[in-house]
Amino acid sequence: MKLLFKNIQELLQIREKGITKLSGAEMKELPVIKNAWLLTEDGKISDFGKMESLSNFDVDETIDATGKILMPGWIDSHTHIVYAGNREQEFVDRIKGLTYEEIANKGGGIPNSAEKLQNTSEEELYEQSVARLEEVITMGTTAIEIKSGYGLTTEAELKMLRVIKKLKENYDLPVKSTFLGAHALPKEYRNNREGYMKLIIDEMLPKVAKENLAEYVDIFCEKGYFTVEDTKNLLSAARKYGLTPKIHVNQFNAIGGIQAAVEHEALSVDHLEVMNPEDLEALKGTQTMPVALPSCSLFLGIPYTPARDIIDKGLPLALATDYNPGSTPSGNMNLVVSLACIKMNMTPEEAINAATVNAAYAIGLSESHGSITKGKAANLILTDKVPSYGFLPYSFGANHIDSVFINGKRV
Ligand code: NIG
Ligand code: FE
């Protein structure tokens, strides 16, 4: 199957093979071809260039992209889209003045979602999750990571991970799976963190590994959740099963989790709303990708990740949604890119780089996704008619998606 896009107003994010991540000043550049064409063949990007260079060849379909932008699809490297029900009530409680922390202390929060999930069948959970996955694909997400962490029992964590596996099997976009058993203490272990950590390490991890249900391991390293010591213990144990760390850290407090993550060669550290100079220093010269989740900051009214400090220090940065029922009931990468510009002072170039090339790195897809590169998957967004790419974050709240392509097929 050959698909040709012609008269593309701007073809965004042209990269040579082998570019894995963009750091510091590199993020300021977004290579573009104006008035371009692009050919996809059997699901991959096979060639592209300026319209003047387009020769005649046989194709199965031609799309006229006059006035439109063609770009790599968004990559959402941090989500929790497998969950049951919602937490609308907590949303209202927060409007009335309770904080996220106060709600959690009252027995709401993550354990509330866990109770709902435990009482939901695998089939029903799959149906609810499919609706979210399809929703985010229509908004331009063409590769995604999904975490467990709303089960909090061995059985329910495995149920979540099996649902993720089924999504992986039934959809063409890359789906990466992360085991987040250490998301919060379940009610039965409220005063027994050590007991729960033991359950995770001795019982859950071996089962997750045996069924081959996850590539990554995550932990919520935060006051009131899990300690740096727990983080180190879990990451060491998970490494024996070949699970790479990607962790929730520095959301409300800086307690040394970034240092532990770096020591354990984490692929990413996510949230980072609260960063001190030592945290930035610890990330320098490492292979760990910092990931910001600005729609979580918007929804909870907490600080935004200090993107300028991170990038100006020469570090890379990726953006993701954090789509989940408690802190971010939204999976809109277009909005995330806008918020990064509006609230985190990232330029459109930096934000688009963070949501494509660097996001691909954060879920191990650098070789195959995240840029317009010959041989990479034809996972693409065709926008509607817009003046230029800066208009995408500028017109916040709009999606400007004409069509989404996964492996060269229009969704
Ligand atoms: O990434 N911070 C930890 N976990 C989720 C929120 C979980 C919830 O409230 O349900 C997050 O924001
Ligand atoms: Fe999260």
Beta strand 69-72 with 380-383 is antiparallel
What DSSP string runs through 80-121? -----S--HHHHHHHHTT--HHHHHHTT-SHHHHHHHHHTS-
The protein residue whose alpha carbon is closest to atom 12 in ligand 1 is: 327
What DSSP string runs through 382-397? EE-S-S-TTHHHHSTT
Cβ < 6 Å from ligand 1: which residues? 109-110, 113, 220, 248, 251, 296, 322, 324-327
**Is residue 156 within 8 Å of residue 117, measured between CB atoms?**
yes
CA 283 to chain centre: 19
pLDDT of residue 213: 98
Query: How far is ligand 1, taken at its centre, from the CA of residue 80, in Å?
Result: 8
Query: What's the half-sphere exposure (Cβ side, CA atoms, 13 Å) at 361?
Result: 24
Judged by its nearest atom, the ligand closest to the C-alpha of residue 300 is 1
The protein residue whose alpha carbon is closest to atom 7 in ligand 1 is: 326
pLDDT of residue 57: 86
Out of 106, 324, 330, give the residue to mutate to test ligand 1, the one with the largest number of ligand atoms within 8 Å of its CB. Answer: 324
Q: Which residues of 131-140 are buried (b: 16+ CB within 10 A; e: fewer)?
A: ebbeebbebb
- Ligand 1, atom nearest to 271 Cα: 1
- Ligand 1, atom nearest to 324 Cα: 10
The protein residue whose alpha carbon is closest to atom 10 in ligand 1 is: 326
pLDDT of residue 289: 98
Separation of alpha carbons 145 and 164, rounded Å? 9
Boundaries of every domain in the chain: 2-72+368-410, 75-361
Query: How far is ligand 1, taken at its centre, from the CA of residue 109, in Å?
Result: 8
The protein residue whose alpha carbon is closest to atom 1 in ligand 1 is: 322
Find the Cα–Cα–Cα–Cα dihedral 196, 200, 201, 204, rounded to 10°.
150
CA 252 to chain centre: 20
pTM attached to this predicted model: 0.98
Query: How far is ligand 2, taken at its centre, from the CA of residue 316, in Å?
Result: 19
**Is 2-72+368-410 a CATH 1.20.1050.90 domain?**
no
**Is residue 73 within 8 Å of residue 381, measured between CB atoms?**
yes
Out of 117, 185, 220, 302, give the residue to mutate to test ligand 1, the one with the largest number of ligand atoms within 8 Å of its CB. Answer: 220
Out of 87, 219, 248, 274, give the residue to mutate to test ligand 1, the one with the largest number of ligand atoms within 8 Å of its CB. Answer: 248
Q: What are phi and psi of 276, to 5 degrees?
A: -105, 170
Query: How far is ligand 1, taken at its centre, from the CA of residue 110, in Å?
Result: 7
Judged by its nearest atom, the ligand closest to the C-alpha of residue 222 is 1
The protein residue whose alpha carbon is closest to atom 8 in ligand 1 is: 326
Judged by its nearest atom, the ligand closest to the C-alpha of residue 299 is 1
**Is 75-361 a CATH 3.20.20.140 domain?**
yes
The protein residue whose alpha carbon is closest to atom 3 in ligand 1 is: 220
Separation of alpha carbons 59 and 131, rounded Å? 33
Query: How far is ligand 2, taken at its centre, from the CA of residue 332, in Å?
Result: 14
From first to last of its 411 residues, what are the pLDDT tens digits of the chain?
Answer: 999 999 999 999 999 999 999 999 999 999 999 999 999 999 999 999 999 999 988 999 999 999 999 999 999 999 999 999 999 999 999 999 999 889 988 889 999 999 999 999 999 999 999 999 999 999 999 999 999 999 999 999 999 999 999 999 999 999 999 999 999 999 999 999 999 999 999 999 999 999 999 999 999 999 999 999 999 999 999 999 999 999 999 999 999 999 999 999 999 999 999 999 999 999 999 999 999 999 999 999 999 999 999 999 999 999 999 999 999 999 999 999 999 999 999 999 999 999 999 999 999 999 999 999 999 999 999 999 999 999 999 999 999 999 999 999 999
The protein residue whose alpha carbon is closest to atom 5 in ligand 1 is: 327
- DSSP 8-state secondary structure symbol assigned to residue 23: B
The protein residue whose alpha carbon is closest to atom 9 in ligand 1 is: 326
Query: How far is ligand 2, taken at its centre, from the CA of residue 3, in Å?
Result: 37
